[in-house]
Amino acid sequence: MINAVIFDLGETILNFGKINPAKMFREGAKLSYDYLKINGQPVSGFKSYCLRNLLALRFKNFVSAITGNDFNSSAFLRKIGTKKGIKLDGEQWRHFAWLWYEPLSKIAKIEPDVKLTLSKLKNAGLKLGILSNTFVSRDSIEKQLAEIGILDFFSVRLYSYEFDFRKPDLRIFKIAAERIGEAFENIMYIGDRIDKDAKPTLKLGMTPVIKTAYTNMGKNIPQGVFQINKLSELPTLVEKINMK
């Protein structure tokens, strides 16, 4: 029986498609820079501001790739700013982090009937959760989900930067199962990556589902993994599995 459904975020609930990282970075940098200027903070020219943050984030990403640990970009950017004499209160720092993420949030698309889909799953008595690899802060992610109107559907929300490991490490899936309070065999996990979503959950005995996305185009779906094109297919899929 499927008693819980856990979702990935990117290309699963939020569909970004192929993005231009340089464009997203520059737009976020401009928004955050202007915010600091408006608030009278000690920032130099925009080019040096961009370069400083770009080099720092690239180095942090490099370390992250080696260690397999995501980092809290919000805390990291705050640390860089504080060293440069920037003084903001807690809410201002949270807004500062959001401005870096805002350009990406604007290109995210969701399925028009996502609320209805989540409502059907919830009304069927299923627990819903999120488990995502990300360095974007919880505050920024959940601000976007709240604006969409779907945050409250998810009683459990786990983001990899809050742990010392990330998908496909089995430990993070085990924690998700513990938090949602169900055995592996009673959990369905939906993501877009075969390597980071389908294979580890299949190994644990969860029910893996791959949502069609550019990240898995042309790849072979392993036996035992379900595939959907839209999240709206999930209620029927869960019903079929639970009727066996």
The answer to whether residue 39 scores a pLDDT higher than 90 is yes
Give per-residue pLDDT as tens, 193-228. Answer: 999 999 999 999 999 999 999 999 999 999 999 999
Q: How far is CA 48 from the centre of its chain?
A: 29
CATH architecture of 4-16+109-242: 3-Layer(aba) Sandwich (3.40)
Q: What is the mean pLDDT of the chain?
A: 96
Residue 73 to residue 24: CA distance in whole angstroms: 15
The answer to whether residue 244 scores a pLDDT higher than 90 is no
Residue 240 to residue 117: CA distance in whole angstroms: 16
Q: Which whole number is the average pLDDT over 29-55?
A: 95
Which pLDDT belongs to residue 1?
94
Give per-residue pLDDT as tens, 110-157. Answer: 999 999 999 999 999 999 999 999 999 999 999 999 999 999 999 999
Percent of the chain with pLDDT over 70: 100
Q: How confident is the model at residue 168 (pLDDT cuts 50, 70, 90)?
A: very high
Percent of the chain with pLDDT over 90: 98
Instruction: Give the global pTM.
Output: 0.95
Q: Which whole number is the average pLDDT over 189-194?
A: 97
Q: How confident is the model at residue 44 (pLDDT cuts 50, 70, 90)?
A: confident
Q: How confident is the model at residue 158 (pLDDT cuts 50, 70, 90)?
A: very high
Which pLDDT belongs to residue 195?
96
Q: How confident is the model at residue 30 (pLDDT cuts 50, 70, 90)?
A: very high
The answer to whether residue 55 scores a pLDDT higher than 90 is yes
